[in-house]
Amino acid sequence: MKLNLAVGTLAIAAGALFAIEAVMQPTAGDRMAFILIFGAAALVSVAAGIVLPRVTGRFRSLRTTVLVMSLSAAALVAVVITAAASLMFLSSHDLRVVLIALLMSVGFGIVLSTSITNTLSRDLEQLRTATLQVGAGQAGMTSSITRQDELGELARAFDAMTDQLADATAARARTDASRKSFLAAVSHDLRTPLTAIRVALDALQDDMAPDPDRYLRSMSKDVDALSRLVDDLFLLSRIEAGRLEMVQESVDVAELVDEAIEAMQPVADRSRVRLRLKHSGSSLVWGGSVELGRVVRNLLDNAIRWAPEGSLVDVSVGRDNGSVNVSVADEGPGFPTAFRPEAVREFTRADSARTRSHGGAGLGLAIAGGLIRAHGGSLQLGAGPGGVVSFAIPATGE
């Protein structure tokens, strides 16, 4: 910084001497006098450039800073002009005219600099006020400054920051609400089997169980339910922490869906629900067959639970725009419009809109969405009619 100041000042002084030499062709004495005057002015400029920023940095007003800088520059110019005019043997009358014109120019400069600094001060005050308001918690505040200079760029960056902060605050509020709902649902699903196990144990310990084997079978089912819930929670935590490990290979999604339908057929038969698969085009993807199989089974299980007796669950597999698309549609009540964007959000009880009578922690769609995102795809809830859940993942070559 100091080196640039010195080099720039000396370059200006050298340019002025070169111009004097070219225009006036001074004598040796005049040349030395000009060198002394311009050299002294250059040294004073360097010293002022070093000292003034430290002094003006203590001022509380930008207007004062600009005014001091303007007056300092004008004073230096006045000294240089006076010295040069004396060297040129101007009459006292001419010298006074030059000084008056110089003072008038200084006055004009002060008026203009004050006008400019008033605008700068007003915009900076707006920015300061908006910053304080954001610090007080009003994340949606903007600076309302429209300029094209560096201050305008700063204001636009500030406005963009406050917009991002408002979005982050809203997202955090949604996540906190979802987390509370999620934890409440999980707590309920943990407490229910634990309570049943405790009651059964008390009955067995007090010899109050009329059929001990039936009580033990019931406890075994509750333990299995707890194990599945804990496994789902562990899987969801690994997905959201980005620590999901899977063996990737070439997977035929249509074949995988067909196997999932075969595995879920007994469940569908108990509910008197028909399963139908429609497949078109190549459905090869690169991913984990175990994880994708779990996604399809989760979607089928959710659809079967909500499909009315005697209805149909349609499963379609196709390829479009470089992606393999899978859709599972049931004839149940479907998902409310307001709920669809939240269904696969982190810590959301994903099927809470359809579990008022069935219960459940609502982890099925959350896990499915996480596994699909791990494959570089996306999962969405459709508008229906009925419940429609679809996902798309990048396809591979034939």
pLDDT in tens, 317-356: 998 888 999 999 988 887 766 555 555 554 454 444 444 3
Which pair of structure tokens corresponds to residue 5? 């100041």
- Domain assignment of residue 122, yes or no: yes
**In a shared domain, residues 236 and 256:** no
Confidence of residue 87 (pLDDT cuts 50, 70, 90): low
**pLDDT at residue 8, as a whole number:** 73
What is the full DSSP assignment across 175-215? HHHHHHHHHHHHHHHHHHHHHHHHHHHHHHHTT--S-HHHH
Q: What is the pLDDT of residues 261-307, one digit of tens each?
A: 999 998 899 889 999 999 887 889 998 998 899 899 989 988 898 88
**In a shared domain, residues 128 and 156:** no
pLDDT higher at 112 or 377: 377
Which pTM value belongs to this model? 0.53
- Cross-strand pairs, 323: 320, 394
Q: Would you mind telling me the total number of residues written for the chain in this entry?
A: 398
**pLDDT at residue 128, as a whole number:** 81
**pLDDT at residue 259, as a whole number:** 92
pLDDT higher at 53 or 212: 212
Vertex 137 angle, CA 155 and 171, to 5° = 90
> What does the alpha-carbon distance between residue 275 and residue 253 come to, in Å, rounded to a whole number?
17
- Domain assignment of residue 140, yes or no: no
**In a shared domain, residues 253 and 388:** yes
Which pair of structure tokens corresponds to residue 74? 């004008």
**In a shared domain, residues 116 and 234:** no
| Half-sphere exposure (Cβ direction) of 143: Cα atoms closer than 13 Å | 23
**In a shared domain, residues 234 and 257:** no
**In a shared domain, residues 155 and 131:** no
- Domain final residue pick, 214, 240, 266: 240
Q: What is the pLDDT of residues 369-398, one digit of tens each?
A: 888 888 888 888 877 678 888 999 998 865
Q: Shortest CA distance to 331 belongs to which of 351, 354, 309, 307?
A: 307
Q: Shortest CA distance to 200 belongs to which of 227, 188, 225, 218?
A: 218
Q: What is the pLDDT of residues 27-84, one digit of tens each?
A: 777 777 777 777 777 777 777 767 766 776 676 666 677 777 777 777 777 777 777 6
**pLDDT at residue 327, as a whole number:** 92
Across 113-122, 252-261, 280-289, which has the greatest mean pLDDT? 252-261
CATH number for position 235: 1.10.287.130
Q: Shortest CA distance to 289 belongs to which of 267, 243, 319, 258?
A: 258
**In a shared domain, residues 353 and 328:** yes
Which pair of structure tokens corresponds to residue 92? 């006292």
> What does the alpha-carbon distance between residue 85 and residue 200 come to, in Å, rounded to a whole number?
111
**In a shared domain, residues 126 and 25:** yes
Give yes or no for residue 174 having a pLDDT over 60. yes
- Domain assignment of residue 142, yes or no: no
- Domain assignment of residue 144, yes or no: no
**In a shared domain, residues 211 and 166:** yes
- CA 220 from centroid of its chain's CA atoms: 46
- Domain assignment of residue 143, yes or no: no
Which pair of structure tokens corresponds to residue 144? 């309302």
**In a shared domain, residues 195 and 124:** no
**In a shared domain, residues 201 and 293:** no
- Domain assignment of residue 209, yes or no: yes
**In a shared domain, residues 265 and 301:** yes
Structural domain harbouring 371: 249-394
Vertex 84 angle, CA 7 and 42, to 5° = 15
- Domain assignment of residue 288, yes or no: yes
- Domain final residue pick, 240, 274, 308: 240
The domain tally of the chain equals 3
- Domain assignment of residue 280, yes or no: yes
CATH number for position 262: 3.30.565.10
**pLDDT at residue 2, as a whole number:** 60
**pLDDT at residue 359, as a whole number:** 42
> Roughly how many angstroms between the first and final C-alpha of the chain, as a whole number?
62
At which residue do the structure tokens 């094209």 appear?
A: 148
- Domain final residue pick, 108, 135, 162: 135
